[in-house]
Structure 1
């Protein structure tokens, strides 16, 4: 009788543990975060907003995402600090905002002058150790995942730019390594959030801007204040943005939800990229129909931007050991990757 009673008690305990485990498994986790870009712009809509949608669908609502628009909680440039300090569970960030603290963040774009192009960047990032180096850069301060990829970009100006010589003396909005490149070409540069670019152009504080690609640039209104644009971009031709996650929030997340967060980030990045390209094509036509004068740099000028970029990379590698480490990883990857890539591509 005693054995039967003990068995029933054990069974009741096990059943209770099973029920509690099931309830714990189904318990909803709530995360609060913010985009560094407006959610009505492709920058926010086709990156972090898409990620939110995928996470909630893939988790069946177990991970609820409260996503704030740019500037609602903190300024766009303060996402890193807000996530690191625990004010937000997550945020969409661009490495450009931490240029002073983490110079190697500039290497997480396609590099100016075509030194690191789209295929190179993506394969290195996901398969060649780039993602792991990004996490090493931020250490335990926060978790960082790639999220959001832009189509190739363009440069806007209030005056015609037909050659690199035309850039001398201009004041430009820039970001990343291109800030140093523009300076080597004789321009003065300033880093501004997207919302400040148009007012700065209207007030004559800057003469031109590199921002993004046709759809984001049109949505921002660059075609209304600049008469000219040119390509290929002197700066990076593609952007990779970052999903930053508070370390404590990440550690508390069940293993299956961690996989969902990571998978949703990759899915949103590539799905958003294809959607973005379609928009870029449509908005490029709108820009041309609007009457914007579009020009392209000569092969000689393009080669010059590549030459100057290599100089900048060497200079910055001497200044920052981790920058040197990331650039070494990229350079060695390109050396391994290029022979077969060049063999299989059409000239």
Structure 2
């Protein structure tokens, strides 16, 4: 809302006669469920993982084999060993699908979805036909949904995570070596995509600058406070 994100997103979608309105966010997601431990970058080679989009392309650079599988088909694929791992959303949603019954290692963080943005898409011509009052109602409803979704996940994920761990799930953080390798591969992919896609480069360059400033700020107040509170019982 207050950086160039909404502006640049709006300009991009407008070329396809689409109005986009933010209407939800899950917060940082989990790194998914694995049938075996991921101790080194080498463990990613040949790993058949249900994951899509840019994340799949990044992991491909490290030897993983991305699989495009609908949510409802993930459980049986993990159970049968058709895939070795799968990412979905986070504790609250993952627990409902029972992934902990077929894969015991639960990794974090889902670096490919640090703040997944959900949006509403509206045909611009149809939008223009709506009375201003209706446009305002939709925008306000989307704004409320945006905040409510994040609040819901923040409220429900802790309980679900504790229940998962209590049932035998082994919670694991991706090793630093793996995170560094994934970051390097991601930066290479973004550079390659920027070189071929001017629209991507325009958005990514602006986003990267904004993110760097945000990381600086969050290290000061938010980060210091959170790190301290994490040491309290």
TM-based fold match above 0.5:
yes
Runs of 4 or more, structure 1, over 6 Å off, are none
Deviation of the 1:290 alpha carbon: 1.3
Partner of 1:152: 28
Seen in structure 2, the aligned counterparts of structure 1 residues 313 and 252 have a Cα distance that, compared at 3 Å, is: same
**Within 2, Cα distance between the matches of 1:280 and 1:261?**
28
TM-score by length of 2: 0.87
TM-score of the superposed pair, with normalisation by structure 1? 0.60
Q: Which has the higher contact order (CA 8 A, sep 6+)?
A: 2
The answer to whether the 8 Å contact 1:142/1:244 transfers is yes
Q: 2:217 & 2:102 partners in 1: Cα distance?
A: 44
Match of 1:303 among 166, 180, 196: 180
After TM superposition, the structure 1 = structure 2 runs for residues 179-198 of structure 1, keeping only pairs within 5 Å, are: 179-198=56-75
| Aligned pair partner of 2:85 in 184, 198, 208 | 208
Q: Distance in 1 between matches of 2:213 and 2:101?
A: 45
Matched, 1:262 2:139: yes
**1:72-120 Cα shifts (integer Å, max 9, x gaps):** xxxxxxxxxxxxxxxxxxxxxxxxxxxxxxxxxxxxxxxxxxxxxxxxx
1:317 maps to which of 170, 190, 194: 194
Matches within 5 A, 1:1-347: 126-139=1-14, 140-154=16-30, 155-344=32-221, 345-346=223-224
Q: 2:18, 2:183 → 1: CA distance?
A: 33
Residue-pair matches, total: 222
Stretches of structure 2 lacking an aligned partner (at least 5 in a row): 228-233
Report if the CA contact (8 A) 2:59-2:65 is conserved.
yes
1:133/1:202 CA distance change after superposition, 3 Å: same
Structure of higher CA gyration radius: 1
- Please state how far the C-alpha of 1:337 moved relative to its aligned partner: 4.1
Instruction: Please provide the CA RMSD for this pair.
Output: 1.9
